[in-house]
Amino acid sequence: MSDAKTLPAAPRDWAEREIGGVAEIRDTAHPRRNSPVWELVRPDGCRFFLKVSRTARSYERETLALRHAVPALGAGRAPQLRASSAEHLALLTTAVPGRPVRELALTAAQEYEAHRQGGLLLARLHAAGDLTGRRRAEAEGALCSVTQDADRRLEEAGDRLTEAERALVRTLTEQLRWVGPLPLGFIHGDARPRHLLWSGRAAWVGFERSRFAPVVQDFVTLACGVWADRPRLRTACLSGYGRELTPQELHVLKCLAGLDAVSALARGDEHDDPPLAAGGRRTLHRLMTGVFV
């Protein structure tokens, strides 16, 4: 068996017991992600993925998602949970056909269809899960949690922000405190092109930030990223989703984009990721010039 030096022995042994032996291990973690991921290949060629969460909260979120909400996407549209270990904070999932859309040389028609199907799958996900009791309370309080985190994000950004930008983000954040009821659901939490796979059919992966929340929160990363350059993909995604965002959701999207941009500036420098920081800077420019949504 080939080895991956960074895969700890304990979760590796657990995974091997679960799937009946491993012939090859490949480190597939994204450089900026907090959760390491390995592809495990059995002697018969069958592939699985082993993720070790950095925190118990991430482990619990992704386990809940894979058990109770993600199956609503349909076969081949998301990973299936093969096993999980609270002891190791580890999840073992099946492989999903396809590669991230951002890594593929797709035609315009293929890219449009991938994002349309991505929106369709988000609609299914948002309607999944049991939105009652404490989970509804969690969803209803999600924006409050965001506003409470604003000061930390602004402090981390430091002098990367001008005073005018800082004032705008504070104003937008404050407006989140007065938002009325919004459509709620179970969100992916990190819906971006690297988590959208395409093989002729779309699939979503990467559910460690999944939770109950206002569904508009699932569109922030897209609105700050690929939608800015290619509005046609926004049309595709929302066509698949089945509806346009409401005026109130559009306003919340704008408010959340400010905080997302602030975080991108700080994380981009911290992780030596100029494209991430540039994306944050671009979003702030769009907000400052009034052309965001």
Per-residue pLDDT of the chain (293 residues; tens, 9 = 90+): 444 457 899 999 999 999 999 999 998 876 655 568 999 999 999 999 999 998 999 999 999 999 999 999 999 999 999 999 999 999 999 999 999 999 999 999 999 999 999 999 999 999 998 999 999 999 999 999 999 888 899 998 888 999 999 999 999 999 998 898 999 999 999 999 999 999 999 999 999 999 999 999 999 999 999 999 899 999 999 999 999 999 999 999 999 999 999 999 988 888 888 999 999 999 999 999 998 86
Question: Do 87 and 103 belong together in one domain?
Answer: no
Residues 211 and 142 in one domain: yes
Of 49, 74, 94, the one marking the end of a domain is 94
Same domain, 21 and 108: no
Question: What is the per-residue pLDDT for 31?
Answer: 63
Same domain, 78 and 104: no
Shared domain check, 64 and 131: no
Q: Give the residue from 38, 71, 94 where a domain finishes.
A: 94
Check residue 270 and give its pLDDT.
82
**Looking at the domain assignment, is residue 151 inside a domain?**
yes
Asked if residue 32 lies in contact with residue 109, where contact means CB atoms within 8 angstroms, the answer is: no
Domain match, 106 and 191 both: yes
Q: What is the pLDDT of residue 75?
A: 94
Handedness of CA 90, 93, 95, 96 (dihedral sign): negative
Asked whether residue 255 is assigned to any structural domain, the reply reads yes
Are 131 and 82 in a shared domain? Answer: no
Task: Say if residue 85 is in the same domain as residue 178.
Answer: no
For residue 3, tell me if it sits in a domain.
no
Q: What CA–CA distance (Å, rounded) separates 30 from 48?
A: 17
Domain that holds residue 188: 99-288
Residue 232 and residue 137 share a domain: yes
Task: Give the domain CATH number at 80.
Answer: 3.30.200
Residues 23 and 42 sit within 8 Å (Cβ to Cβ) = yes
What are φ and ψ of residue 94, in 5° steps?
A: -75, 160
Q: In the chain, how many domains are there? A: 2
CATH number at 130 reads 3.90.1200.10
Name the nearest CA neighbour of 222 among 199, 245, 247, 198: 245
Domain boundary residue among 94, 129, 156? Answer: 94
pLDDT of 5: 54
In a domain, 28, yes or no: yes
Which residue type sits at 267? R
- Say if residue 159 is in the same domain as residue 259: yes
Is residue 78 domain-resident? yes
CB atoms within 10 A of CB 24: 16
Q: Is 282 contained in some domain?
A: yes
Place of tokens 């022995």: 9
Residue 91, φ and ψ in degrees, nearest 5: -125, 135
CA–CA separation, 184 and 252 (whole Å) = 13
Residues 147 and 265 reside in one and the same domain: yes
Is there a domain that residue 1 lies in? no
Residue 77 belongs to a domain: yes
One domain for residues 175 and 90: no
Question: What SS3 class is residue 176?
Answer: helix
